[in-house]
């Protein structure tokens, strides 16, 4: 009788261990897929916004394809809150050209962070709007270099 109970206990323990390992593996794979989808969406939205602001439309079609692909993956596997924020951003225009679109995108990034386990407003005191929407770092020198070059060219000797 003791042998039968030990055998049944071993089978139950093995089944539970297998079930837990499989569940953890699936959750890990889903998390990787979500992170990749979020990252791809933010990257495609950023490329599209920068291209439009600079007047470069050469890669717009490829950027739109990448943006829609990532959007569809988020809708398929994302947390409900992220999907809601994404749809709101999409309804606002999703071009990052107007104030309401910028606010919706900022909210989307905060909801993504929250869904990935960060505290809801852990970046509240930081100026993430500047970090998200400023095209160049504060010490970017290309324009200064070009301005100096134009001044030098315009000088009369």
**Domain residue ranges of the chain, discontinuous segments joined by +:** 2-154
pLDDT tens string 71-110: 999 999 889 999 999 999 999 988 888 888 888 988 898 8
- Alpha-carbon span 86 to 111, nearest angstrom: 9
DSSP conformational letter for 97? -
Higher-confidence residue of 9 and 156: namely: 9
* Portion of the chain with pLDDT greater than 70, in percent: 76
- Alpha-carbon span 85 to 79, nearest angstrom: 10
pLDDT tens string 146-155: 666 666 666 5
On the CB side of 48, CA atoms within 13 Å amount to 20
């Amino acid at each position: 009788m003791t042998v039968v109970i030990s055998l049944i206990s071993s089978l139950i323990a093995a089944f539970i261990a297998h079930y837990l390992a499989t569940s953890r593996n699936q959750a890990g794979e889903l998390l990787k897929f979500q992170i990749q989808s979020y990252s791809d969406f933010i990257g495609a939205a950023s490329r599209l916004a920068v291209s439009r602001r600079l007047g470069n439309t050469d890669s717009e079609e490829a950027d739109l394809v990448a943006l829609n692909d990532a959007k569809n993956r988020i809708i398929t596997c994302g947390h409900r809150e992220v999907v809601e924020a994404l749809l709101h951003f999409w309804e606002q225009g999703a071009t990052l050209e107007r104030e309401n679109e910028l606010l919706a995108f900022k909210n989307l990034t905060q909801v993504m962070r929250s869904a990935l386990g960060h505290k809801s407003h852990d970046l509240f005191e930081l100026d993430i709007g500047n970090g998200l929407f400023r095209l160049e770092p504060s010490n970017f020198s290309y324009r200064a270099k070009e301005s100096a070059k134009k001044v030098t060219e315009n000088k009369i000797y």
